[in-house]
Amino acid sequence: MNRQVRTAVRRTAHARRTARNCSRAIIGFLLTSATLLYGQMPRSLPQDTVATVGTAVITAADLLRRMELMPYPDLAHGGDPEEVKRRSLYAMLAERVLANEAKRERLPEDATTQRMRHELENLFVRDELFKREIEQKAIPAESDVYQAVRRFEQELTVECFLTRTGDDATALVRALRKRTPPARRDSIIGSLATERDTILIHFDGPDSAFERAAYGIGASGVSAPVHSEQLGWAVLVLLDVRPSSMAQKMNVVERRDHVVQILKRRIEMQMQDAYARQVLATRTARGDTAVFNLFADSLIALWRTDPEHFHRDGGYVVTADMADLLLEELADQLDRPLVRIDDGDVTLGQFLEMMRYENFVCSAYEGWQAKLELNEEVRHVVGRELLAREGRRQNLQFSTAVQNELSEWTDYWAARQLLYRVRDSVRVTDDEIVSHLVRNSASFGGSYEVNVREILCKDLATASVVLSALNSGKTPAELAPQYSLRAEWASRGGESGYFPVREHPELGFRALMAPPGVLQGPFKLDGGYSIFTVLGTRRTKSALTDFATLRRNVEQRLLEERKRDALNRFIAACAREQQVSVDDAALRKIHPTMIPMFTRRYMGFGGIMSGAPILMHQWDWYQDFQKANPLP
């Protein structure tokens, strides 16, 4: 086994060990320490206020956090740092003012947002419970720190002998500790050991059992029999001891701090396991088989659509997007209880929302193995729910820490909800489409021809007379010679014959948009008021597409422009009302890392979530805001 392969095996083994050690609570749920991974190393941050919204402030630290914890498009494309900073700040301001306006309007939360809010609050409650009950109390003893520092300063090279059973390991230890002749020794090793390899052991390595055994080797140079959860029974023989390369790069204080953090993490793992047992010992939860099968079958069906796409990290995953798909697919089943608990059931909808914050990987995407692992995941999630209820029993949901963390996300959701309401209220009229086509008739007008029967009236009064006559049974062909201003067409009963739309753009484009044979108008044209019916339309050889497609494309383009303009005006108006101000000098002092990051936050007692909400792409509003608020 070469060193590269051994390293991979050790890393994989470490992952499995961590998972097993984290799932020993009564109902076997995953327990992880509370850690926030930042996009860069900690550093001194400027505390200047870079913007205000009324009396509320946005500091340099606030801005850097949102820029550096989550991906930002301009970072990935090498955007100008100054422009990236400005856009990020304007996006943060847009989020703030929209959230404030949503609160002012008392915008109601829909059922989906309420469910998201509750489960996210549970996540923060568990994390706060972890901090109070575990993190603050996990303090290593000085004697343990002293011993750990000594171990950290050394790297051990050992020869590892794997055996089939504990008895074989014990027999091998006896043989190795005796002064057995080499030939006899090799014979015993050959009969008892299934594999031998040379490995490097260091403090906080991937296999804690091997670490304890190696550093515990005495004068004989042979360890006691050791059982590794990854590799089974083994015996270690010390070959070499040398200074740790990592420790040599640190001074005494840094070594101690590093070791204390490792010991603290280990204590946290032990304490949270014990705490979970204590909390869950008296709780009972009963699953509903029918609802579980409904969930499991739906997820398995989703995996089956594209197993390769959903396969990562050695198995089949459940992502937040997949949770959304299942919530939509099972919308009429979400209130059914998946797990019954005395103080309140866990519904299918709640469970699917919880899965948004899980890091679940299933080894199979169908069959009983998949259902067995999904059943185990339900147990994990219910365990976390019960811990959250314990936190709520202690009223942690009202703590400042939980409310501050929750408000960042609820404000983000409220801002998006209001943004969508404003955006979705925008419409594009036929008149706007015609105006756009007429302005661009040089590009589009030669691609289509129309044939109409028209009466072009000199004024609205005449148009009214014509409409009355038509309603009385007269035909356009009868009225055109008397009332139409287009003499040539009037002589043919108002029929134009096919003409390129660019010759009469407004009439031509309106004709292209109108159904054949249906009376249209009156419409104001340059020469008067037009009343017409469409006799025929056709494409020319120069047309790149049919008119229906062109119209849809134009409508979509205009709709996007109108939505953007409406949002910019709305946000700018809210910003003026809420007295937004930006300190450009303070903004110039900020120097963010220009590396796009996607940060995941690991929560106490299990769970994983994004480090922060992704900034909305709303910055163009600031130009409208500046027009009404010019610089002094």
The CATH number of the domain where 523 resides is what?
3.10.50.40
H or E element at residue 625: helix 621-628
**Which domain-ending residue is among 551, 584, 603?**
551
Residue 110 confidence class, pLDDT cut points 50, 70, 90: confident
Residue closest to 384 by CA, chosen among 279, 286, 299 = 279
Residue numbers of the domain that contains 461: 430-551
pLDDT on residue 76: 53
**Which domain-ending residue is among 395, 413, 440?**
395
pLDDT in tens, 425-446: 999 999 999 999 999 999 999 9
Residue 18 confidence class, pLDDT cut points 50, 70, 90: very low
Residue 368 in tokens: 């009983």
pLDDT on residue 77: 56
Domains identified in the chain, total number? 3
The pLDDT of 586-591, averaged and rounded, is 90
pLDDT on residue 205: 86
The reply to whether 538 and 434 lie within a common domain is: yes
Q: Above pLDDT 90, what percent of the chain?
A: 79
User: Between 72 and 301, where is the model more confident?
Assistant: 301
The reply to whether 161 and 258 lie within a common domain is: yes
Q: What angle do CA 405, 409, 412 make, to 5 degrees?
A: 140
Considering the domain boundaries, does residue 606 fall inside one?
Answer: no
**Which domain-ending residue is among 533, 551, 569?**
551
Residue 417 confidence class, pLDDT cut points 50, 70, 90: very high
User: Do 239 and 157 touch, CB atoms closer than 8 A?
Assistant: yes
The pLDDT of 89-114, averaged and rounded, is 93
User: Between 206 and 564, where is the model more confident?
Assistant: 564
91-100, 170-179, 461-470: the lowest-pLDDT one: 170-179
pLDDT on residue 24: 30
The pLDDT of 133-159, averaged and rounded, is 95
Considering the domain boundaries, does residue 212 fall inside one?
Answer: yes
Is the predicted pLDDT of residue 292 greater than 90, yes or no? Answer: yes
Residue 592 confidence class, pLDDT cut points 50, 70, 90: confident
pLDDT on residue 206: 86
Is the predicted pLDDT of residue 15 greater than 80, yes or no? Answer: no
Residue 74 confidence class, pLDDT cut points 50, 70, 90: low
State the Cα–Cα distance between residues 188 and 222, nearest whole angstrom: 15
State the Cα–Cα distance between residues 204 and 564, nearest whole angstrom: 54
The reply to whether 449 and 544 lie within a common domain is: yes
pLDDT on residue 73: 59
27-31, 258-262, 485-489: the lowest-pLDDT one: 27-31
What is the residue-averaged pLDDT of the chain?
88
The reply to whether 217 and 310 lie within a common domain is: no
State the Cα–Cα distance between residues 276 and 278, nearest whole angstrom: 5
The pLDDT of 30-47, averaged and rounded, is 36
State the Cα–Cα distance between residues 464 and 471, nearest whole angstrom: 11
Q: What angle do CA 459, 465, 469 make, to 5 degrees?
A: 145
The reply to whether 196 and 151 lie within a common domain is: yes
pLDDT on residue 593: 82
- What 115-120 contacts at long range (C-beta under 8 Å, 24+ apart), as own/partner pairs, is 115/349, 115/350, 115/353, 116/353, 116/413, 117/406, 117/409, 117/410, 117/413, 118/350, 118/353, 119/350, 119/353, 119/354, 119/356, 119/357, 120/357, 120/406, 120/409, 120/609
Is the predicted pLDDT of residue 35 greater than 70, yes or no? Answer: no
Residue 19 confidence class, pLDDT cut points 50, 70, 90: very low
The pLDDT of 202-212, averaged and rounded, is 90
Residue-wise DSSP of 386-431: HHHHHHHHTTGGGSHHHHHHHHHHHHHHHHHHHHHHHHHT----HH
User: Do 594 and 85 touch, CB atoms closer than 8 A?
Assistant: no
Is the predicted pLDDT of residue 461 greater than 80, yes or no? Answer: yes
pLDDT on residue 109: 86
Considering the domain boundaries, does residue 186 fall inside one?
Answer: yes
62-71, 137-146, 386-395: the lowest-pLDDT one: 62-71
State the Cα–Cα distance between residues 226 and 217, nearest whole angstrom: 11
Considering the domain boundaries, does residue 444 fall inside one?
Answer: yes
The reply to whether 469 and 377 lie within a common domain is: no
Residue 101 in tokens: 């306006």
The pLDDT of 468-490, averaged and rounded, is 95
The reply to whether 465 and 515 lie within a common domain is: yes
The reply to whether 444 and 372 lie within a common domain is: no
H or E element at residue 146: helix 142-152
Query: Which pTM was predicted?
Result: 0.78
Considering the domain boundaries, does residue 460 fall inside one?
Answer: yes
Residue 369 in tokens: 């193995």
Considering the domain boundaries, does residue 446 fall inside one?
Answer: yes
Residue-wise DSSP of 192-251: HEEEEEEEEE-TT-S-HHHHHHHHT--TTSBPPPEEETTTEEEEEEEEEEEE-HHHHTS-
The pLDDT of 504-510, averaged and rounded, is 96
The reply to whether 488 and 381 lie within a common domain is: no
The reply to whether 254 and 301 lie within a common domain is: no
Considering the domain boundaries, does residue 61 fall inside one?
Answer: no
Q: Above pLDDT 70, what percent of the chain?
A: 91
pLDDT on residue 597: 82
The reply to whether 443 and 497 lie within a common domain is: yes
Residue 347 in tokens: 């519904």
The pLDDT of 311-323, averaged and rounded, is 92
Considering the domain boundaries, does residue 391 fall inside one?
Answer: yes
The reply to whether 178 and 258 lie within a common domain is: yes
pLDDT on residue 72: 67
